[in-house]
Chain A
Amino acid sequence: MNKLWWLLLTIVCLAGAGFLILKIFPDQRPNAAAPATAVNRIVSLAPNLTEILFALGLGEKVVAVSSDSDYPPEAANKNKVGTFWQPNTEAIIASKANLVITECFEQQKSVAVTLHRLGYRVLPLKIESIEAMLTAIKDIGDATGTQNRADKLDEDITNRLDNLRSKLAARNKVKVLWVVQTEPLRVAGTNTFLNELLELVGGENAIGPTIQQYPPLGTEELLACGAQAIIQSAMGVDNIPEQQQAAEKFWGRWPTLPAVRNNRIYVIDPDTTLRLGPRLCQGLDLVAHCLHPDMDGHE
């Protein structure tokens, strides 16, 4: 057993050495994250954050974006710093950013922590609902000194949402199945922001509460749900008409479903509806017109 004690001692010593190294190279620079003088080089790690930045008139100051930031078209020409799921810390540093805006899930959080440790200014934002998106717009406004434009954008979106809500309040609720994937079939559950969008435009989720956020659906539940309309997020924006045809063929297997019987299957642009960004109102209009085809023209 003597040797075991020696071993324990070695472990303790080496761990102690680890702490000593820690003191020599502190985890964080002493003057880290001092409020930046003027934010003029911004990096965005998510497409919706990029859209918010451009909507606030900060397009010129954005120096690099995640590779899936494709709107507005100017954003697609910016330097790329890795994907949404795997940002590249080296590329972010090389872009000489003085503000990095990130999402809050694990991969981006770890990048944010590293950058913060090196003294960079990071703004991590959690955007999972419309409410959170509005808050995020204000946070970005505060961080970049564009409070006025942020307030204006916030007001704009809130007004359009209220407008839509009041216009649709008197209408009957349409039962909708929001399909995120067809094989295997997965739909948006009640605990998602897609559900929030649906309820905003006078729809209701055809399926009840589930423990999964995006539950897989068996044929039995599918036939029992009585969906009056099916909304399917397209995969990419290039060939939506073909995807529409394919979807109609796919759903043709269940002619008893009201949505299929009345041919109310809509394949829609994923970018405006799935991104919680400034184009959300366009997406909502799109969904509203799918659910209420008799609604008067686009706003």
Chain B
Amino acid sequence: MTQVLTAKSLGIRITLCLAALAVVMCLCALMGSQKVSLRKVLTGPGSSPGENIDYEILVGIRLPRVILAALVGAALACSGVVLQAILRNPLADPYILGISSGAGLGAIAAVLSGATWSFWGGSPIAAFAFAGAIVTVWLVWLIGRAAGKSQITNLLLAGVVINAFLSAVIMFLTSIARSDQVHSTIFWLMGNITEKGPSALGVSAGCILAGTVGLFGVSHRLNILSLGEQEAKSLGVDTAKTQIVAFALAAFITAIAVSLSGLVGFVGLVVPHGVRLVCGPDHRHLLPISAIIGGAFLVAADTLARIIVAPAQLPVGVITAIAGGPFFLVLLARHSRKISWLK
């Protein structure tokens, strides 16, 4: 880690990654089970549905889906970086503190209640999952705090136990649900990216981008925090405040991602490690680059999920784990000798 990070080199890296993300998104938007002719798309929407199919497929279906995948991937990867830093644990991922089971419980409650209203273009599942995730994380935080000084371990333990407890509740609810409800929930739990309306996309894009920018703002303090709490304090960092801010923002963007697409696994764990292995552990670039690469990774994975068994589709979680796992192992084997994990 002799190289020094300057604003210029950071800017260049981020621009390069953004360009790569844009290329991936464009390519993926052009791939799919149906062939789309760009020339026809450019003639604009027809006056009635079905008049310009190419436009409807590209602009109405694929583009929102590609954007959604990029947002979810970015949020999960970013939140993974932050939780690995705060918890100082390489196994941490966005779901480790109970968000997944809280959101899952919310989702299954929404399915069971049969609610059908919509809210900012979101479904009851999205709203319930978001609420479930936020409440659970807040609960874990409170318990972790109440338990005493060695906060990090307590936080992790509280998260693991609440995860286990809520998973049991989810299993109970699944066992009494109707078969179509069970199916709906299982697809959700496997991570399922579907088409969302522009309003849902707009709002969540705003929130996720803001959260990511906010986390970038504390990234230099995450560097110091990952040395250890005592060391950070002695260097003059207000550890408690940094932890709360970073934790709250990470939980917030994860909850939004989860409410949009269910539990897409693996992105939040593997992308931060992959980026760390290649670029080093400085959070000032680790965080934005992970977000961008996470977005690109999920866009590519979702495209595979769309086309591999077309016209049917796979849950995207299947692809992220199957494709991400071996790729990560290769990275691990090639780069881990260069860099030890943190420090």
Q: Which A residues form the contact surface with B (CB < 8 A)?
A: 3-4, 7, 10-11, 13-22, 25-27, 29, 32, 67, 80-83, 85-86, 88-91, 93-94, 96-98, 103, 105-107, 109-111, 113-114, 117-120, 211-214, 216
**Extra 5 A-B pairs, beta carbons < 8 Å, given A18-B202, A213-B177:** A88-B33, A113-B123, A118-B61, A120-B49, A120-B50
Q: Does B313 contact A (CB under 8 A)?
A: yes
User: Are A18 and B188 CB-contacts (below 8 A) given A88-B311, A96-B50, A96-B53?
Assistant: no
Instruction: Enumerate 29 A-B pairs (CB-CB under 8 Å) in ascending A order.
Output: A10-B210, A13-B206, A13-B210, A15-B203, A17-B202, A17-B206, A18-B202, A22-B198, A27-B199, A32-B49, A67-B312, A81-B311, A83-B312, A86-B312, A86-B313, A88-B311, A91-B311, A93-B61, A103-B180, A105-B181, A106-B123, A107-B183, A107-B187, A110-B194, A110-B195, A111-B194, A114-B61, A118-B56, A213-B179
Q: Mark B1-33, 1 if CB is under 8 A from A, else 0.
A: 000000000000000000000000000000011
Q: Is the CB of B175 within 8 A of A119?
A: no
Q: Is the CB of A11 within 8 A of B184?
A: no
Docked complex Cα distance between A17 and B199 (Å) = 10
Q: Distance in Å from the Cβ of B312 to the closest Cβ of chain A?
A: 5
Q: Which residues between 55 and 99 of chain B lie within 8 Å of chain A, taking CB atoms?
A: 56-57, 60-62
User: Are A21 and B311 CB-contacts (below 8 A) given A88-B33, A213-B178?
Assistant: no
Docked complex Cα distance between A89 and B312 (Å) = 10
Residues of A within 8 A of B310 (CB): 88, 91
Query: Which size bracket describes the interface of B in this complex?
Result: 35 or more
Q: Which residues between 162 and 197 of chain B lie within 8 Å of chain A, taking CB atoms?
A: 175-181, 183-184, 187-188, 194-195, 197
Binds A, one of B151-159, B211-219, B292-300, B332-340: B211-219
Q: Which 5 A-B pairs have the closest CB atoms?
A: A18-B202, A14-B206, A106-B184, A119-B49, A11-B210
- Of A21, A94, A109, the residue contacting B53 (CB under 8 A) is A94
Docked complex Cα distance between A236 and B56 (Å) = 37
Q: Distance in Å from the Cβ of B263 to the closest Cβ of chain A?
A: 15
Q: Is the CB of B210 within 8 A of A91?
A: no
Residues of A within 8 A of B202 (CB): 17-22
Residues of B within 8 A of A17 (CB): 202, 206
Residues of A within 8 A of B180 (CB): 103, 105
Q: Which of B57, B181, B311 has the most CB of A within 10 A?
A: B311
